[in-house]
Structure 1
């Protein structure tokens, strides 16, 4: 994969900062600012009139990469695109909020949280906010001894940005600087970055704690709301931790896995970076892929390879992330022979009762190479067609050692296994044969149900009647059920 970053195109030494010398990417961003263009231009002229060319380069970086960054407001929609009024925060806990959502789905059919509005930073941010953000970021970088070894590129990505994700933009540096001043006085000039990070992490944790209720509130909170409410989901906590670290001059980023490979849901977490911008945290221990949010556009991403009108699975078509899986694990490159003539193939994990794309590859004469994959997990190669993932090869288990073990149900041989069940519960048993194929229903018994007609070598899925279909697929090894 290409790893070029838009930072490289913007961080060239400016000649004099005059409008005619602004980088192309900055001028293109200004075209998108609409009526707010004068506010953004005044940021550039402010730093062009100064004597600190590095600050002007930082302004180029922020503004040149600003298109696409903004506050995203989510709402609940039905399959016809009609908004259905709902707020999880109207309920005291997750169970009550989920029950209310289930009732709405019984009335309206399948419902999904979708983007209701994007408030673009370019169209609303003020000169004062951006100038203050840049000034304070430089004071933090240059004024704290534990931050001075950070490269300019790491500073731009891990200290400078005014936002963490898609939350409302607010001034979080000023209130947190008071905490940093107290901490610096306590720890002294020789404090290590790790000690500062530990203390600022404690401060962030005291401001906002985790609650499952916010799983059903996908709109990211801003600094003031988190401070007031004191609770949120992992994305909110990651943002608060990022604010605290960056206010203290500790390089940090938000890493995430769009879909776990061994369970349902996803996760985001903060990570402390070294001077070169590398780092990892224990939160990603079972991730199939770990991606790092970036402020700069990553020109090697799939988004920049798609032609006009060409689409891709959710998450993978974003411009501002990069693959850091190899900063977490020993990884392997996986070559897969796929069906079809599509330009791209995708590697999927099973999450939330369906296959979800986690990585992409160009197709070279039907061969796809998925780089830097984490072993010990189940995968399915797929294509993207008409907005859906279509199997392109059999599923396989990738061992920790990098061995690809195809899971292809035999047409000639069977195996037996005792399936774990609850007494009295009805189930449907499925096997993968170019898609999930039913092997019939069964009634659970204490101690499990013996099935001696499973097509050997396959992938199976036992789903309880009335469940949310979150059960894990499994394989059978020497008669034992092995959950994947």
Structure 2
């Protein structure tokens, strides 16, 4: 407390006013002390560039589109270099008093909070800010907008029911998702009016609404995905049993049985307002420790999702701290830390069915401390390459394909029917192709099931589904040397301007058309009657399959010796073949294009990522 008051400098008198104001109310006084004690950690940013980004986001929300010129200008700019404005230097007593009084009112009056301990109240309802957003007086505004959604719950004692009712209200307005800008948190007032940003902004808006309405909640996150590239965060609410339950306002409601959205996480951390214990005593004062383990305002929440466990791993270095990492093409990302006890390190509460790597810090870089391993069924399977024993491996992808994303990408393909006709009325249509199964790749060449002469082709979407398609083309020969010019002759409105109809034949497999209508078809005029022998079809996809003409390089992991190349290949077909050491971990790089890559292993020549473990 003394440090916080000293840190406030000339603004100290405002903080002391708050302490004096609650001198006769011990509980509110302790709440005030909690906020002030942790206040030196909190600040916002200021500068004209923040206003500019907000204007861009407002336009993006309205248009559901961001111009390429805007992206080129702003995606390389980090707003974290702007001047910091520390709360302790500017915050006013009236602001803190109003925040504390409104928080206590919600805590004491809401029946679902009757068993909420004071310590949890301080973390989950009381805080006046989330992170580094501009400071604002938001609590009453959010209460006036969202509390009516809880009118029917005046006697409800279950915070989960209250959270579900609020979640429904939050999900009513569409959220425009963009990850293009490197920026601090947006202000509470901005998010009340504008639903735009990425998962962080969705979570922030929910936290403001929850706390304003007296629902105890915060945000959980994983640092870096063990399946795909990037971090993620989501909201959690504290149940009356003290257990935290996750929910995501844009996709689903939370229930008593929910433990996550199915994504692999490795380790989960919870955002806190108050300072937490060090992961290892004294670690935050040591040099060359990754920032994650110096952050005293998060805590390990993995046990809420997977229960408890521990693993002990051998390492080949003598460094005191050993980190547990997940793969990134730019270097392993540390997600946990343990102490090196004579060549063995123990990690607690780690998600299973994932591949990990032990790491140590060497100056400003992280290096491998041993062999990577697969942790599954409470057993460690180290990848120690057997270079004298090789197998022939067939490689089809350089990146894992998460099951949920695979289903999302291909959901508009199952049930597609492609018909041909000599007349526009399609009086006697010929079925050229019918898709009943999920496609297994991003590029498919189909032999037409009917080669009768046709002039018009109709691509029918599945029942009550939009059309979502990356590429479609037609040939009059099986060797695909005579492409048939095909012109779209019906007007279809794209769901978003960026996904226009011209994308279906622009030879760019990552671009795609998505229709606004869910009961529509694509109508093509071939210009003349012709026999369609072959059809090219590419669903919306990620372009991480092997692509002919691209150059690739395969590496295997050799522990502390790093990644060893197995040579480069220019793909001649949609599969690569390599002779690889047995029991090794691999990394396939596309040297021509792309940046999404993930590690895998092989068994009997078959490629396995953590998303499709055998």
- Whether TM-score is above 0.5 comes out as yes
Shift of 1:56: 0.6
1:248 pairs with 197, 213, 223, which one? 213
Spell out, residue by residue over 1:213-270, the C-alpha distance to the aligned partner (whole angstroms, 9 max, x if none). x342331101112233321111111111011111111110110001111110001111
> What's 1:397 paired with?
374
Summarize the Cα distance change of 1:247–1:113 in structure 2 as closer, same or farther, 3 Å threshold. closer
More moved, 188-197 vs 121-130? 188-197
**Take 1:284 and 1:320, find their aligned partners in 2: how far apart are those partners?**
26
Q: Secondary structure at the match of 1:364?
A: coil
- 1:431 corresponds to 2:556: yes
- 1:127 corresponds to 2:127: no
**Take 2:70 and 2:391, find their aligned partners in 1: how far apart are those partners?**
39
**Take 1:412 and 1:88, find their aligned partners in 2: how far apart are those partners?**
61
> What's 1:355 paired with?
332
**Take 1:356 and 1:210, find their aligned partners in 2: how far apart are those partners?**
29
**Take 1:191 and 1:331, find their aligned partners in 2: how far apart are those partners?**
29
1:273 pairs with 238, 246, 250, which one? 238
- 1:160 corresponds to 2:97: no
> What's 2:441 paired with?
none
More moved, 39-48 vs 184-193? 184-193
Shift of 1:465: 2.0
Q: Secondary structure at the match of 2:388?
A: coil
Aligned length: 439
Q: Secondary structure at the match of 1:472?
A: coil
More moved, 132-141 vs 414-423? 414-423
**Take 2:48 and 2:361, find their aligned partners in 1: how far apart are those partners?**
26
Summarize the Cα distance change of 1:116–1:377 in structure 2 as closer, same or farther, 3 Å threshold. farther
> What's 2:2 paired with?
27
Summarize the Cα distance change of 1:134–1:341 in structure 2 as closer, same or farther, 3 Å threshold. same
- 1:74–1:115: 8 Å Cα contact kept in structure 2? no
Unaligned residue ranges in structure 2 (runs of 5+): 247-259, 397-545
More moved, 124-133 vs 223-232? 223-232
- 1:261 corresponds to 2:388: no
> What's 2:192 paired with?
227
- 1:417–1:450: 8 Å Cα contact kept in structure 2? yes
**Take 1:319 and 1:284, find their aligned partners in 2: how far apart are those partners?**
28
More moved, 267-276 vs 140-149? 267-276
**Take 1:55 and 1:448, find their aligned partners in 2: how far apart are those partners?**
66
Q: Secondary structure at the match of 2:292?
A: coil
- 1:87–1:217: 8 Å Cα contact kept in structure 2? no
- 1:59 corresponds to 2:35: no
> How is 1:84-103 mapped onto 2 (pairs within 5 angstroms)?
89=56, 93=65, 96=68, 100=72
- 1:377–1:398: 8 Å Cα contact kept in structure 2? yes
- 1:144 corresponds to 2:271: no
**Take 1:246 and 1:67, find their aligned partners in 2: how far apart are those partners?**
22
**Take 1:215 and 1:403, find their aligned partners in 2: how far apart are those partners?**
40
1:469 pairs with 595, 601, 610, which one? 595
Shift of 1:318: 0.4
1:418 pairs with 382, 387, 394, which one? 394
Spell out, residue by residue over 1:52-95, the C-alpha distance to the aligned partner (whole angstroms, 9 max, x if none). 2111111111111222122257999xxxxxxxx99994895578
More moved, 307-316 vs 283-292? 307-316
- 1:70 corresponds to 2:36: no
More moved, 374-383 vs 293-302? 293-302
Q: Secondary structure at the match of 1:260?
A: coil
> What's 1:46 paired with?
21
**Take 2:120 and 2:293, find their aligned partners in 1: how far apart are those partners?**
24
- 2:223–2:231: 8 Å Cα contact kept in structure 1? yes
- 2:158–2:240: 8 Å Cα contact kept in structure 1? no
**Take 1:314 and 1:63, find their aligned partners in 2: how far apart are those partners?**
24
Shift of 1:309: 5.4
> What's 2:575 paired with?
448
1:367 pairs with 344, 347, 360, which one? 344
Shift of 1:96: 3.1
Shift of 1:101: 6.9
Shift of 1:355: 0.8
Give the root-mean-square deviation of aligned CA atoms. 2.8
Shift of 1:449: 2.1
Unaligned residue ranges in structure 1 (runs of 5+): 1-25, 77-84, 105-110
> What's 2:609 paired with?
483
- 2:324–2:359: 8 Å Cα contact kept in structure 1? yes
1:460 pairs with 568, 586, 607, which one? 586
Q: TM-score, normalised to structure 2's length? A: 0.66
Summarize the Cα distance change of 1:255–1:45 in structure 2 as closer, same or farther, 3 Å threshold. same
Shift of 1:35: 1.8
> How is 1:261-340 mapped onto 2 (pairs within 5 angstroms)?
261-275=226-240, 277-281=242-246, 282-283=260-261, 285-302=263-280, 305-306=282-283, 308=285, 310-340=287-317
Larger helix percent: 1
- 1:417–1:480: 8 Å Cα contact kept in structure 2? yes
Shift of 1:354: 2.5
Q: TM-score, normalised to structure 1's length? A: 0.83
> What's 1:16 paired with?
none
**Take 2:262 and 2:133, find their aligned partners in 1: how far apart are those partners?**
23
Summarize the Cα distance change of 1:68–1:88 in structure 2 as closer, same or farther, 3 Å threshold. same
> What's 1:383 paired with?
360
